[in-house]
A and B are shown apart, each in its own frame.
Chain A
């Protein structure tokens, strides 16, 4: 299972990449995409939506099941990955790259994020 050291994680199996102190990119982890199986739909929040950490802001649905997407931190949706509309399988093939989901600006509430080691421990349980 791939868990890059340079990223932060949440217990809800999302990764967070700090682009600056106040802006992040997030998506779901390799562990999450593998557990879900083939992702066939992804619904994402709208640009401009104000999200608070932990809030449900979308869904990923695979052939097997559906999972909510949560805002990993508080912030305003600055950009969403439109490519996922027609190519949701990018979440499976490149979860930390082309399968990114949302960019948030004006970020706050980052205290609950965990590092790669903590996330690996969590998924090893």
Chain B
């Protein structure tokens, strides 16, 4: 997907252009990477200290609807929908029969007959195809990917802004509510991908410009700033949140990625269950760890990691400069024998740079 003419534009594209955004192709969409006069570091730090607004309309959106839709969907996805109630959201995954990750997604349980799902941009088509194929025909799969925009409102000042706008602010983490704003329907969710206290709002594309402008008008006193995908990636990496295609993929199992909490083998059925049970029985050989640079260097995906005897023990899946810690941080898939606080070495363009093994998050989570 290199031809920008084929990329999908967000409804807010012209607004981003007006804000001097640089764009990047992501999952088939042309989305803001960073904004003029700001940049990744400033956008990142402002989200941690004030308020960051993200257009994440590239994320997939679909409704699964019909008699006992939730129960049928539960036979496909890894987490157990029975653990949540209507009005609550859950992190889940869709695997292939080999137990590898086709995608991770957030599901929003509206009722036993209706579930909203938010898969990743580039995987949405495949996720919906698999779900469609595995559901009884009387259950509908309604793809709203290009109908619904998603705006993430993240940071310590997000609650004050939501209250100012008279939106439902009384939501626990991972819960949501269908609501109204200035005469149009929205869904407000206490979710996010930054580790900050925050909200994600689903709004019809015909209303999203209005919503965006009202957020910025009201948010000025809170230091509101738009945030691009660049800072979205550094924020999520500081939290150790996996990104599909890097830290989880068709080559990496959820158990290797430390996501066993969202893979419930006690339930009767999900795609890939047999493979996961076998993997549990024999144990994983590698696991996702955090590593933190001791020296000045920025780790990047696919760089090799070595132990103190210069034996290769794995590779980096996501790496970046942490704007909060001012040092290189990474998620790395390493030999299972690796221990927290081990000293390891990353081959950074031919130089072996010392890192310390840690358990993410690299920065304290403030989501609750």
Contact = CB atoms under 8 A, between A and B. Distances in A.
Contact of B230 (A41, A61, A64): A64
A66 B349 contact: yes
B192 interface: no
Instruction: Place the interface of chain B in its size category.
Output: 10 to 19
Interface residues of A, number: 10
Given A63-B230, A63-B321, A37 B298 contact: no
Interface in A59-86: 61, 63-64, 66
B320 interface: yes
Contacts of B321: 40-41, 61, 63
A89 B40 CA distance: 12
Contacts of B320: 63
A12 interface: no
A92 B39 contact: yes
B34 A37 contact: yes
A37 B39 contact: yes
Contacts of A37: 22, 34, 39-40, 230
A67 to B, nearest CB: 12
Given A37-B230, A40-B321, A63 B41 contact: yes
B234 interface: yes
B296 A63 contact: no
B39 A40 contact: no
A66 B298 contact: yes
A64 B296 contact: no
Interface in A24-46: 37-38, 40-41
Contacts of A41: 296-298, 321
A77 to B, nearest CB: 20
Question: Which of A37, A40, A41, A89 has the most CB atoms of chain B within a 10 A radius of its CB?
Answer: A40
Contacts of A61: 298, 321
Contacts of A40: 41, 298, 321, 326
Nearest to A42: B296
B293 to A, nearest CB: 10
B295 to A, nearest CB: 10
Nearest to B44: A63
Contacts of B297: 41
Contacts of B40: 37-38, 63-64
Interface string B334-351: 000000000000000100
Contacts of B326: 40
A108 B323 CA distance: 40
Interface string B274-317: 00000000000000000000001110000000000000000000
A35 to B, nearest CB: 9
Nearest to B349: A66
A38 B349 contact: no
Given A63-B230, A63-B234, A63-B320, A38 B296 contact: no
Interface string B219-253: 00000000000100010000000000000000000
Contacts of A64: 40, 230
Contacts of B41: 38, 40, 63, 89
Interface string B4-37: 0000000000000000001000000000001000
A63 B40 CA distance: 7
A89 to B, nearest CB: 8
A89 B326 CA distance: 12
A85 B106 CA distance: 42
22 contacts: A37-B22, A37-B40, A37-B230, A38-B39, A38-B41, A40-B41, A40-B298, A40-B326, A41-B296, A41-B297, A41-B298, A41-B321, A61-B298, A63-B41, A63-B234, A63-B320, A63-B321, A63-B323, A64-B40, A64-B230, A66-B349, A89-B41
Given A37-B40, A63-B40, A66-B298, 20 more contacts: A37-B34, A37-B39, A38-B40, A38-B41, A40-B298, A40-B321, A40-B326, A41-B296, A41-B298, A61-B298, A63-B39, A63-B230, A63-B234, A63-B320, A63-B321, A63-B323, A64-B40, A66-B349, A89-B41, A92-B39
